[in-house]
Structure 1
Amino acid sequence: MGLFGRSKTTVGLDIGSGLIKVAVVDHGRKQPELVKVAVTPLLADAIVEGEVMDPGIVSDAVRGALSAAGVKGKGVITAVG
């Protein structure tokens, strides 16, 4: 639980070679609860062998996935692979 009894959420962001995935977890109760998920496909040549080839496409996909999940904050836990 967050400061002053506020519920705390964690946003996970996974940037893969074919998909951008977002998961929002609420830690406000005794057990963490997955409350939102969004998946956005990437063009095949946006990330090649782990290297970002087109940052614009990747950043647009990340913004789209975060928006689809209703994420408004700036703090995320990120995995790239």
Structure 2
Amino acid sequence: RAMILRNHGLLAAGPSVAEAFNTLYWLEMACKAQIDALAGGRQLCLPAEPVRLKTAHMYQPQTRGPFGLREWPAMLRQLDRLDPSYRE
């Protein structure tokens, strides 16, 4: 449900704004972690294949529940404190 667009940033879709936002947030965090890891200039130590497969399975839409629904109200409260004009 997310794409990395060359020279254009990230794009996400989902059944709700909350899920799409959460997908983008965690994709951006993963990208930052990868950039930081590569910046070290050393050989990366990847998890074993069974761990990678299990993790990928856990995050499939049909396996996991809704993503980000509990975080969304907190994000809106934070935005309300910073700049409530978005509601206009």
TM-score, normalisation: structure 2: 0.24
Q: Which has the higher contact order (CA 8 A, sep 6+)?
A: 1
The structure with more radius of gyration: 2
In the superposition, the TM-score normalised over structure 1's length comes to 0.26
